[in-house]
Structure 1
């Protein structure tokens, strides 16, 4: 009975719980665990950056080295994809990278909440970035920006079909950007929960099974290391694709 009470559904960890119910003119603006951990990730990121500035010296301390490593990774993404014109957008790109990184890493802490495991968050973030990128494209190129959907030298009869195809392939970027992050974080956390539950079930059974529970436990530890790497990789990929999409509208690729 005890093991049945302790082992819960692998999907229960993704449940959004209302902490402070609030409404404003009929609009639900309640504070949930998702909101709480977004704020927490933001505060942890600020605190981590402040540590790197604490007692700065010519010989950098460990916090400085870690911050400089993340900074250099983001700077290389911007430089490789946007060149010198990316300097203007670097503060946003760096903030985005850091925020996603801490959201992913905090989600690895037991009994915490993974903000990026919800499609509502990743889609909302991707859509906001997508709209902002297109506004930048229109401001930069004016009405010539819409030529992005119509390559030169296209025969007139197939223009409507080609515009439709180009538009749909352009819009799908929002979905690929959001689903990639959501799917990786959700599947990884679900797998960890399943294996942890399997190891606990074997341990609770007693006897020979209790001895062999070390096998799924060892696999769990290995997967935790892999999931930590994925947490950093997915923040990197999301940031990289944002720079690529931004460069597309700036350079008309």
Structure 2
């Protein structure tokens, strides 16, 4: 994306939230226009809904589409059973939805829409506001489940078994602080991973353009090497997209395990 002066490429422009409809629409003095961030969240949910339609066919001999859906649902279900046990099955739909939304949002943000004039991809998980909401919703569920099941006994989670009595006050404070940091680290991890990858892609893309514009043998070498780096980073980003979705879902299941089983 060009900078304001038109002299280069601004790698941060891709994260700019811009209205795509209703830019003048306000409610109680607040602008409530439909933004590119909201658009890509709708696209993500629509693609996810279409993907899940394949799992509703219930064919005796599943096709590739149905097998893919059943494979993902089985993967998340097995993760919940391994981390929580039978009690965790009630939360499988939530963790599954969380995993699939993050995965699809990450992958859709990598689509090369920039080749279409006036379009550019937008990764909603590269915004801390989105990842923070997902993290705090998960954390709120953990707190609600913990206190609903155990009441004030939930605080025993912050005192590990076998802790000497003289150390209980210090250990309690440390464990409580570690527990309260969880939503911040959960949301920040996903945000940083996706933002860093997209910045790298944009930076190397600028090297490709500037190398060709510079001309000469050196410019061509820089452009070719930068293009090769883009291919490598794109492949890595595909892997990171899946890993970050898995890590977010895995940590959510582990936090739920603490609330359910007080481990």
Partner of 1:49: 52
User: Is 1:185 matched up with 2:185?
Assistant: no
Displacement of 1:87 in angstroms is: 1.4
Q: Unaligned stretches of 5+ in structure 1?
A: none
Do the aligned residues in 2 keep the contact of 1:41 with 1:106 (CA within 8 Å)?
Answer: yes
Q: Say which of 63, 72, 75 aligns to 2:74.
A: 72
Partner of 1:40: 43
Do the aligned residues in 2 keep the contact of 1:33 with 1:113 (CA within 8 Å)?
Answer: yes
Partner of 1:137: 146
User: Is 1:229 matched up with 2:239?
Assistant: yes
Q: Unaligned stretches of 5+ in structure 2?
A: 113-119
Alpha-carbon distance between aligned partners in 1 of 2:227 and 2:162, rounded to the nearest angstrom: 61
Displacement of 1:43 in angstroms is: 0.8
Displacement of 1:45 in angstroms is: 0.3
- Over 3 Å counting, the alpha-carbon distance change for 1:24 and 1:158 in structure 2 is farther
Alpha-carbon distance between aligned partners in 1 of 2:88 and 2:7, rounded to the nearest angstrom: 50
Displacement of 1:159 in angstroms is: 4.5
- Over 3 Å counting, the alpha-carbon distance change for 1:128 and 1:68 in structure 2 is same
Partner of 1:108: 110
User: Is 1:83 matched up with 2:85?
Assistant: yes
Displacement of 1:93 in angstroms is: 1.1
Alpha-carbon distance between aligned partners in 2 of 1:114 and 1:196, rounded to the nearest angstrom: 17
The count of residues paired between Structure 1 and Structure 2 equals: 251
**CA shift digits 1:20-66 (9 cap, x unpaired):** 34433344443221111111101110011214446x64332221222
Partner of 1:10: 11
Do the aligned residues in 1 keep the contact of 2:157 with 2:258 (CA within 8 Å)?
Answer: no
- Over 3 Å counting, the alpha-carbon distance change for 1:233 and 1:141 in structure 2 is same
Deviates more, 1:208-217 or 1:197-206: 208-217
Aligned residue for 1:88, secondary structure, equals helix
Q: Say which of 153, 156, 159 aligns to 1:147.
A: 156
Aligned residue for 1:112, secondary structure, equals coil
Alpha-carbon distance between aligned partners in 1 of 2:228 and 2:162, rounded to the nearest angstrom: 60
Deviates more, 1:230-239 or 1:67-76: 67-76
Q: Say which of 235, 241, 244 aligns to 2:251.
A: 241
Partner of 1:214: 224
Partner of 1:250: 260
Displacement of 1:156 in angstroms is: 6.1
Aligned residue for 1:89, secondary structure, equals helix
- Over 3 Å counting, the alpha-carbon distance change for 1:194 and 1:92 in structure 2 is same
- Over 3 Å counting, the alpha-carbon distance change for 1:23 and 1:161 in structure 2 is farther
Alpha-carbon distance between aligned partners in 1 of 2:46 and 2:141, rounded to the nearest angstrom: 25
Do the aligned residues in 2 keep the contact of 1:203 with 1:209 (CA within 8 Å)?
Answer: no
The normalised TM-score by structure 1 is 0.90
